[in-house]
Structure 1
C-alpha cells in the first residue's frame, strides 16, 4: 500500500514540476504577435509527462499550465476565450499520452524507429488539437483582424499556424533527440 502512495505522490510532484517548467520555457519564447501566440518550447514538458504517464497525466499537466498562464497574465477578452486559449488548448496537448503504451513498448523492445514514429505522431496530435482550439477561438473572438478580402477562417488559420507549426517542429525535434539519447526519461518503472 505504501508503494502505491509513493508513486501517486511522485506523479503529482512530476506534474507540478513539469507544469512550472512549461511556464519557465514560455519565458524564453519568441513573441511577435500582438494578440497572443508565440514560438516556444512550452509544450515540451506536457509531452514528456504524457509519454511517460499517459493521457490523464499529460492532460492534467496541460490543464495546470493553462491555469498558470491565466494567473500570470494571459491575453483575455472574456471567460470563454480565456478557457479556450489556455486551459482547454493545453489540456489537449496532453492527448499525446494515448501513445504512451506504444512508446513504452517500443523502448522495451529496442525499436527506435517505432519510438520516433510514436513520438512524432503524439506531438503532431497534441499540437494539432491545440491549433484547432486556437483557430476556433480566433474565429469567434479575433475576427476583427481579418481584412475584407480574407475570410475569418483563413485569417484565424494563418495567424495560428504561423506560430504553431514552428513550435511543433522545434518541440518535436528536441523531444526526439532527447528521447533517442536518453530513453530512460520515458521509462516510468525505473
Structure 2
C-alpha cells in the first residue's frame, strides 16, 4: 500500500470509530446486564469493513470494542473482556467479506449477507461470554438458551436496523472515492 491509501484508511477508520462511538451513546433500549439497542452504532464499522476489507474492518472493530470498554467498563475475567469487547466488535469486520471479490459489484444480497455474518459473529462472541461467565443469571433456565435470548433480544433489533439503514445508504456510500493503488510505492 502506498502512503495515500494508508492515510485515507487510517483517517476513515478513525472517523468511523468516532461516529460509531457517538451513535452508541444514543440508546433506544438498554438491557439490564449490558448490551443495548442504539441508533445504529455498528453501522459505521460495517460500512468501513465493506469498503476496505475484512481484515481492516476487524482491526477497526477491535479498536472500537476496546474504546467501548474504556467508556463503560464491565470486567469479570480477562477472557470475558476479550469476548465481549475486542473479539465481539472486531467480528463486525466480517461485513468486509463482500470485499474479497473486488471485480464483482456488491449488490444488496451480498451486502446483506456481510451484515448478517458480522452481527452473527458479534452475537456468537457474546453468547459464549454469557454461557461461560454469566450463567448464574440464567437461574433455572439453560444457560445457552438464556444467553441466546438475552443477546438476541438487542442484537436482533440492531440487525434489522443495520440492514435497513446500510441497504438504503449503500449506493451513495459507493460514490465516495477510495484512492487508487499506484504502481509506484
Q: State the TM-score, normalized to the length of structure 2.
A: 0.90
Partner of 1:51: 50
Deviation digits for residues 131-188 of structure 1 (CA, Å, limit 9, x no counterpart): 011000000111111132x201000000000000100110110000001355314x53
Which residue pairs with 2:183 in the alignment? none
Match of 2:127 in 1: 135
Q: Distance in 2 between matches of 1:32 and 1:106?
A: 37
The worse-fitting range, judged by mean Cα deviation, of 171-180 and 22-31 is 22-31
Note if 1:153 corresponds to 2:144. yes
- What corresponds to 1:111 in structure 2? none
User: Any unmatched runs of 5+ in structure 1?
Assistant: 108-114
Q: Which residue of 1 aligns with 2:178?
A: 188
2:112 to 115, 120, 138: 120
Count, aligned residues: 179
> CA separation in 2, counterparts of 1:182 and 1:64?
22
> Are residues 1:166 and 2:157 paired?
yes
Question: What residue ranges of structure 2 are gaps of 5+ in the alignment?
Answer: 181-185
RMSD between aligned residues = 1.8
CA–CA separation in structure 2 for the residues paired with 1:188 and 1:7: 8
Counterpart CA distance in 2 for 1:101 and 1:131 is: 23
- Distance of aligned partners of 1:43 and 1:62 in 2 relative to their CA distance in 1, 3 Å threshold: same
1:83 aligns with 2:82: yes
Residue of structure 2 equivalent to 1:175? 166
TM-score scaled by length of structure 1? 0.87
The structure carrying a bigger helix percent of its residues is 1
Where 2:120 maps in the other structure, the secondary structure is helix
- Partner secondary structure for residue 57 of structure 1: helix
